[in-house]
Each structure stands twice: as structure tokens, then as C-alpha cells.
Chain A
Amino acid sequence: MAAVAVAPERPQISLQQVGKTYPNGTVALRDVSLAVPKQDFVFLVGPSGAGKSTLVRLLIREEKASEGSIQVDGQELNRLRRRHLPYLRRKIGMVFQDFKLLPNLSVFENVGFALRVTEGALRHLKPKVEEVLSIVGLEGKENKYPDELSGGEQQRVAIARALVHDPKIFLADEPTGNLDPATSWEIIQLLLQINARGTTVLMATHNREIVDVMRRRVVAIDGGQIVRDEDAGGYHAPNLEPH
């Protein structure tokens, strides 16, 4: 029986020989090539200033690559017109270490805000916000304001806001950076749950314990270059593991 050739699936995120040099001459990334298939879960690790956040910013086109090519969900970002950028961002959910919640809006309004400003159908706003708040376990806290919530709860609100558009890709830049270990684990469980629903997750982190326990794909960056790309890896390269 003849074997049927199956074309390899195009990666959801693809970087080819990407470099980023800032106007002041600082080289943030050099010759970075990376392919992230759909539904993958990737930890992006490395010391401060290694280039992790720059890489994340390039993926949402907050910055433009100085060289190379970046494709996200089939779109070449360097060629993407400014007016099409919002539609790219609606495919990407994004959370940060500092949550970026609006303090004068309630939990419900913070999440609904993302739908309002992207002009989603308002008749779906309430059920959609309720759905994502239940995914992140914040039922009953809809009317609370960010300063009435714990750090972990605030990050859950930020995750709910990122999920409200059913993103294909979820980017998390140090999402557990401000959280205690127990809360960090809860957030990781949530990201795993999101990944299990079919969303590609890329998480930049310093959290060694989480990376070591999870044993997922690890991409290590140092000095603006990828120094390791390992499936089921740990925070440090095997030969550098402290004894």
C-alpha cells in the first residue's frame, strides 16, 4: 500500500532569522528562528534583558523587526498594514506582569471593555463576559474593582479579558512575576486549561520551579539569541543543572 504524503502543517508562529536593533544601536535580538505549531505550549526563558519581552512585542507588532521575517497565523508582520494591525491583535490574547487593568472599571467592565472597543456585538457581551469569568473562576466577583482583588484574582481578570475574543494565540509576559508561588500555580493551571482548549500558549517567565515541574517545550534566549530549544525541558540546560 502506497504511503499518503501529508503536507506538514504551517506553524502558528514562525520567526526566520529575525533581528531587532533599536535606534540607539542596542541589539535586542539577532538571528532568531523559531516555529511554534498550533496548540503548542512554550516557555520562553532567559535572564533579564535577554530579549524575551522584545520577542513578545514583535509578535503583537508593538515593535517591528529590523531584519528577518515573522509570521503569525499566516500573516507576515513586516508587511502588515497599520490599519490591519487591530485585527491581528484580536487573534492574540495577551497578559502582563502588571495586569494592565483599568482601576476605575469593575471586573465585568474591564472584561467587557475589550469587546466594546473592538466593536463586538453588544448583545453577546454579557453572556460572553460571564462565560470567560467562569473559565477563570471569578463568578460572583463581577462588580468588584481591581483594588478590591488579590494579585492572583487581578491576573485572572486580565486573562479573562484576553480570552474574550477567543484568541488563537495566548502570549503571557511574566504573568506570575508579581504573584506568590501558590497563586502562580493557579495561573499556570489556567494557562494549561486554555492550551487544552486548543489555544497556542507562549509564556515568557523567570519562574524556574514552574518550568522545571511542567516539563514542556522550553526556548531559552540569552544575549538576543536562542541558545536552546528543547521539548520537555527544564529552566536550565541539562549540563548546567545544579547538583
Chain B
Amino acid sequence: MHRIWNRIDFAFGSAWQNFWRNAAVSIASVLIVWMVLLSLGSLLMVLNSLQHILTLEKGRASAISIFLADNTPLSSAMDFKLQLMRDSRVSAVSYVTKEQALVRFQEMPTLSPDLIAALGSNPLPASLDVTVKDIRSLADIDKMVRTSPLVDKSPATNYSPDVIDKIIVLARVAGIAGVVLIVGLAALSLFIIMLTIRTAIYMRRKEIEVMKLVGATDWFVRWPFIVEGLMVGVLGAVVAVIIVGLGYRPAEQYLQPRLVFIPLFYDPEFLKVVLAGMLAFGLLLGTVGSYLGVRRFLRQ
């Protein structure tokens, strides 16, 4: 017990001394770890938002709203609905009145009350919301319904085949760019941590020489430097976790009114996972960086 306590006390005491003796380099490495983890956390949150949008759009994609001209009698609309329901490619059809369309529009979280008030009379058309069995038949149905005289011409439907493809491409590009950025920054932070540990080793080289001379084990010599790397990783991670943890909700609230048609998501469960992941990655960076830094020296 005494032995373990001695080892912990010595490792933490020396690491703390190293950190402050070497303050400029230590703080630089904390900053770089912080930058890496902040980028990682932000990227994961953005990718998560894109994933949500993608799921939503995919769900929407199997449905199409056919907008009806304002003068369409209800009986014609019902006939049209029955005609569509008889189509083997269609799984469900529902009629949405102009009033229901306005309520839906008002419920969109991204719209400000001013915008809704500015609409005056209800400009939204009634529609038939058609859900298809196979997403690939959407294009044909879209083409078919456009020929009906009941259908509004501006626009006839909300069919937009490009949206999903664009989101997929955006998510892929964001993912690849993010991974490249994070791998680059992670490599840089490993290098900086190694440099910090090397500087600490250089400053304590006489002490290390004496330790080895009097019979300290390699691990006893290593621990203070590993702990120092760990401190750098954890400090960088904690600052990044605080910023992402506290800043994500306000950032989402700030951005949402400015990005009206992009639904941003606040997912507290995923945020927790991301924060835990950032902390773990900070620990990993610190430990691996310091281990690499100390390994070569002790081999000599």
C-alpha cells in the first residue's frame, strides 16, 4: 500500500512540477489538444444533425404531396383520392385541407410568428398526401398526377429527387473533410505532446540519470511523464467538453432562426456520448503522446 501510494505521489508530484516548469510548452499542448477535441466534438454534432436530416428526408421521400387547385370541389378531390388508392403502387393517401395545411405550416419550429402573420389570407393549397410502397415509383406517380386538371400548377407536387442526393453528398463530404482535419490535428497534437514530454525529460535528465543509477525501475521513471501527458490530454479535453457541452444548445438556438429551412437538432443523449468520447480521446492522445515521448529516451 505504502509502495503504491509512494508511486502515485511521486508520479503526480513530478508531473505537476514538470507541467509548470515547462509552462509555455505545456499550455501550447493543452491548446492543441483542446483544438483537436473541439473540432472532433463539433464535427460529430454536425454529422449527427445531417444524419437526422437525412433520416427525416428519407421518410419524407416515400411520400409526395399533390397540391390541388384552390377551386377543386371536395367531391372531385375524393374521387381523385380513390383513384390513387386503387393504384397498386400506392400504400396510403390522405386528404389535407387548406386549413390543415396552414396549421402544419404554423407548427414548423423554424418560423417566426411575424412571418406567419405577414401571410394574411391562407395561400396554402389543399393536398393529397400519397405514400408509395416503393420509393422508385415516386417519379412515375409525380409524372402521372401532373396531367390531372385538378392539380395546382405552381407547384404541382413537392417531389424533389435531388434533395436526398445532395444531403448524402453533403454528409459524405463533411465526414471526409472532418476525418482528414481530425487525423491531421490528432497527429499534430501527438507530436506536440511528445515534444512537451521530451522537453520535460531534457529538463529532468540529471534526475533521471540519478534515478536509474540508484536502481529505479523503468516504469517508475516513466510514470511522471505519462501522468504529465495525461494531464495535458485531460485539461485540453475538459476545456473542449465544457465549451461543446455548454455552447451547443445556445449555438443551435442562435443558428436555427438564421437557417430557416435546415432543421437543426438538439440531441442531449448524443451530446453526452460525444462529450464522453472527447474526454476519452483526450486521455488517449495524452497517454500515447507521452508514452511515445518517453519510450525512445528510456531505451537509450
Could you tell me if A100 and B209 are in contact, using CB atoms closer than 8 angstroms? yes
* Residue numbers in A under 8 Å from B3 (CB-CB): 119, 121
Interface residues of B (CB under 8 A from A): 2-3, 6-7, 10, 206-207, 209-218, 220-221
With contacts A94-B214, A118-B214, A121-B3 known, what are 10 further pairs, Cβ within 8 A? A86-B218, A89-B212, A90-B215, A94-B213, A100-B206, A114-B214, A117-B10, A117-B216, A117-B221, A119-B220
Q: How far does the alpha carbon of A121 sit from the alpha carbon of B3 in the complex, in Å?
A: 7
Q: A83-B218, A100-B206 are in contact. Are A121 and B2 (CB under 8 A)?
A: yes
Q: A100-B209, A113-B210, A119-B220 are in contact. Are A87 and B215 (CB under 8 A)?
A: yes
A208 interfacial contact with B, CB 8 Å: no
B299's nearest neighbour on chain A, judged by CB, is: A82
* Residue numbers in A under 8 Å from B217 (CB-CB): 83, 86
CB B8 to nearest CB in A, in angstroms, measures 12
Q: A100-B206, A102-B206, A102-B207 are in contact. Are A119 and B6 (CB under 8 A)?
A: yes
CB A109 to nearest CB in B, in angstroms, measures 11
* Residue numbers in B under 8 Å from A118 (CB-CB): 214-216, 220
CB B238 to nearest CB in A, in angstroms, measures 30
Mostly helix, strand, loop or mixed at chain B's interface? helix
A227 interfacial contact with B, CB 8 Å: no
B207's nearest neighbour on chain A, judged by CB, is: A102
B4's nearest neighbour on chain A, judged by CB, is: A119
Could you tell me if B210 and A82 are in contact, using CB atoms closer than 8 angstroms? no
30 contacts between A and B (CB under 8 A): A86-B212, A86-B216, A87-B215, A89-B213, A89-B214, A90-B215, A94-B214, A100-B206, A100-B209, A100-B210, A100-B213, A102-B207, A102-B210, A113-B214, A114-B210, A114-B214, A117-B211, A117-B214, A117-B215, A117-B216, A117-B221, A118-B215, A118-B216, A118-B220, A119-B3, A119-B6, A119-B7, A121-B2, A122-B6, A123-B2
A121's nearest neighbour on chain B, judged by CB, is: B2
Please count how many residues in chain A sit with their CB below 8 Å of the partner chain's CB atoms: 23
* Residue numbers in B under 8 Å from A165 (CB-CB): 214-215
Q: How far does the alpha carbon of A119 sit from the alpha carbon of B218 in the complex, in Å?
A: 13
Q: How far does the alpha carbon of A9 sit from the alpha carbon of B221 in the complex, in Å?
A: 37
Q: How far does the alpha carbon of A147 sit from the alpha carbon of B262 in the complex, in Å?
A: 70
* Residue numbers in B under 8 Å from A161 (CB-CB): 214
Q: Would you list the 8 A-B pairs with minimal beta carbon distance, nearest first? A: A89-B215, A90-B215, A117-B216, A114-B214, A86-B215, A117-B211, A86-B217, A118-B215
Q: How far does the alpha carbon of A60 sit from the alpha carbon of B6 in the complex, in Å?
A: 26
A116 interfacial contact with B, CB 8 Å: yes
Q: How far does the alpha carbon of A117 sit from the alpha carbon of B216 in the complex, in Å?
A: 5
* Residue numbers in A under 8 Å from B214 (CB-CB): 89-90, 94, 113-114, 117-118, 161-162, 165
Most buried by A among B6, B210, B212, B221: B210
A162's nearest neighbour on chain B, judged by CB, is: B214
B2's nearest neighbour on chain A, judged by CB, is: A122
Q: How far does the alpha carbon of A218 sit from the alpha carbon of B215 in the complex, in Å?
A: 28
CB B298 to nearest CB in A, in angstroms, measures 10
